[in-house]
Structure 1
Amino acid sequence: MVRRAVVKGVGHYLPDRVVPNAEFEKTLDTTDEWIKARSGIESRHFAAPDQTTSDLATQAAKAALDMAGMDGNDIDAIVLATSTADLTFPSAATMVQHAIGNTKGYAFDVQAVCAGFVYALSNANALILSGQADRVLVIGAETFSRIMDWTDRSTCVLFGDGAGAIILEAQEGDGTSADRGILSTDLNSDGRYKDLLYVDGGVSTQNTGMLRMVGKEVFRHAVEKLAQTAHTALDKVGLGPDDVSWVVPHQANIRIIQSTAKKLGVEMDRVVVTVQNHGNTSAASIPLALSVGVARGQIKTGDLIVTEAIGGGLAWGAVVVRW
């Protein structure tokens, strides 16, 4: 028997304000058709001025706890993936910890930009496999609307705000690929590509900064690296594309999603797609898509799921989990 990190609950939260593509036509040289053709995005959600990343994360966490039939103190650890935390410190995770009434566990943030949730899920899995936690709340939450350059039509139309959460619990498995829970992870990064996707400010530069991206280069790296990391994660447990029930990718751009699926050898009818309604929510996009996929009735117990993401760093990775 082996220890596995099994999914017990999932949830998400989206801010009330929905921003359709047409809203950008008022201030930018762009159109709804232009945005949809290049990204697949039709609308996205923006947080209210008084909403922070931890607020969004808390709502998603509560939804996941409700599905799992748990309360805050049933959780041993909280791992929150975000690049847009409320404050320089403390972590947004500790704010969620307080908001859900958890007084016995520990909480920390993970920052790997759009790959953040994959990194957080891998860390949570390691905490469970090592016996440092029995139940881990893993969250991806972002307010990317706060770091947009509203004059840059190539980036500001792509991103949105939101949060998703998943609860993992230690259970015993047989040690085969038929087990429920996380079966494998694959993490990568290469700092040589920092200038392809970054924010041009930060604490030590005394400047908040705005998001900058070399879109064509990011696209090229994304398709190659996402297919590679998904294949690697599947290979680790002796599985292949034909075994996959659903690919739940980072929701950055429909063309990246389609090209990656083709390179991976998975038809689009086995890919959960939410980018049209949410835009790119960075670290929140995979848990959001997982939660929506469950709510739609797509993802069911026993399904084999592959998640993969790439973000600034460049950082990328994949996780294979049996639901």
Structure 2
Amino acid sequence: MVPRIGPEAFYSQAEITAIGSYVPDNRLTNDDLSAMVETSDEWIVRRTGIHERRIAGPREFSSHLAIQAVRNLIDRYGRNPADIDAVIVATTTPDHFFPSVASRVQQAFGIESALAFDLNAACAGFVSALQTANGLILTGAYRKILVVGTETLSKITNYTDRSTCILFGDGAGAVLLERTEHGAFLASHAVTEGEGGIQVYAAGLSAELDGQPLDGDGKIVQNGREVYKWAVSTIPEGMKRLLEKAGMTAADLDWFVPHSANLRMIEAICERLGFPFERSLHSAGPYGNTSAASIPLALDLAVSEGKLKKGHRLALYGFGSGLTQAGLLLEWRLDG
């Protein structure tokens, strides 16, 4: 039995009322990668659980994926874009420095009088965007906010680097967050450890970070061993703190939805958390690591497979470059 939520919990009057997703048609399989670098399907699956990933076309960018995901949401749930009053897009791979991807989404659907901005919290981006959207709804100034996670990581992936090119793919997921009488968000948690930023990055205008020169020429560089150690040692504790804020334990959850970085990492986190891996939702197998898009893609896969039901309690937990982590407890209110 789920305990009554205590007064210290993070309350809101918002809930997810629609969801959509989109991935490019082009597949990059493990066998395809084995022709590019020294690897194999068996090696990749054993270490990551990834079977393939989707790759955007040469003229297909994060805004295009985001727009298609929102269109999927609108078509499935019959939502009117004119009712939306804010658009938040979580991405690390915007089409341009500016204008924002969010402004491209606003334009595509003719949304008037809308706040629109991008948010970069890397793999924690989608959860951070939900937290931000929830806060805006709490102010009373906004009622319907579109939250999108979209990435074209293939455009910043070095396909000669075996340690990173096997991981990353492209995709987008979108949800509509609406103000309601009885909110579905139960608790929130976030931690940032900027001193770990050097462990995973893509260099931009600056060629150094904390006095250290950056490699990669703008492509993803990751110290996989250190990132793995950080995630496995800190995420279970972060999850426990998130659950404590709502007076819950892991046993009260129906599903754990972590960032789909690597299924072996998720297995290790679940083991330390004392939570069955079988009750985690992820998207890494068919789509790879899609950063800010991985959690909404996992949610929509679970909806399409009939796993995610109305009334289920979920813990969303994003983590990655920054080093950042962001968690959110919520009740699922969609019928399917």
Q: What range describes the TM-score normalised by the shorter chain of this pair?
A: over 0.9
1:79 matched to 2:88? The reply is yes
- Give ranges in structure 1 of 5+ residues lacking alignment: 174-179
**Which SS does the other structure have where 2:297 is aligned?**
helix
2:200 to 179, 197, 202: 197
Q: Which residue of 2 is the match for residue 286 of structure 1?
A: 295
Instruction: Please give the per-residue CA displacement for 1:79-99, whole angstroms capped at 9, x wherever unaligned.
Output: 100000000101101101111
User: 3-state SS of the aligned residue for 1:137?
Assistant: strand
Question: SS where residue 70 of structure 1 aligns?
Answer: coil
After superposition, give the CA deviation of every residue in 1:124-165 in whole Å (9 maximum; x if it has no partner).
Answer: 110111112111111100000000111110001100000001
After TM superposition, list the pairs within 5 Å mapping 1:1-323 onto structure 2. Answer: 3-173=12-182, 181-199=184-202, 201-204=203-206, 209-323=218-332
| Conserved 8 A contact 1:230-1:307 | no
- Deviations along 1:100-139, whole A, 9 cap, x unmatched? 2211211100001111111111101101111121111111
> What amino acid does structure 2 have at the position aligned with 1:30?
T
Which sections of structure 2, spanning at least 5 residues, go unmatched? 1-10, 209-215
Q: In structure 2, how many angstroms separate the alpha carbons of the residues matched to 1:26 and 1:162?
A: 23
Aligned length: 315
Closer/same/farther in 2, CA of residues 208 and 136 from structure 1, 3 Å limit: farther
Q: CA deviation at 1:71?
A: 1.8
Q: Deviations over 1:275-305 (max 9, x none)?
A: 1101000000001111111111111111001
Task: Report the RMSD for the aligned CA atoms in angstroms.
Answer: 1.5
Q: Deviations over 1:244-299 (max 9, x none)?
A: 01111111101111111122221122111321101000000001111111111111
Q: CA deviation at 1:3?
A: 4.7
Alpha-carbon distance change, 168 to 265 in structure 1, aligned in 2, over 3 angstroms: same
Q: Displacement, 1:228?
A: 1.9
Q: 2-side partners of 1:14 and 1:144: how far apart?
A: 12
Runs of 4+ in 1 over 4 A off after TM superposition: 204-208
Provide, for residues 216-242 of structure 1, a one-character-per-residue CA deviation record: whole Å limited to 9, x for no partner.
110011112221222222111111111
| Identical pairs, percent | 40
Tell me the amino acid that sits aligned with residue 326 of structure 2.
G
Report the AA paired with residue 311 of structure 1.
G
Aligned residues of 1:163 and 1:284 also touching (Cα < 8 A): yes
Please say if residues 226 and 309 of structure 1, whose CA atoms lie closer than 8 Å, have aligned partners that are also in contact. Answer: no
Q: Distance in 2 between matches of 1:127 and 1:142?
A: 24
TM-score (norm 1): 0.94
Partner letter of residue 182 of structure 1?
A: F
Q: CA 1:208–1:11 in 2, change beyond 3 Å: closer, same or farther?
A: farther
Specify the SS of the correspondent of 2:163. Answer: coil
Query: What TM-score does the superposition give when structure 2 sets the normalisation length?
Result: 0.91
Offset at 1:205? Answer: 5.1
Report if aligned partners of 1:3, 1:171 keep a CA contact under 8 Å in 2: no
Distance (Å, rounded) in 2 between the aligned partners of 1:136 and 1:247 = 24
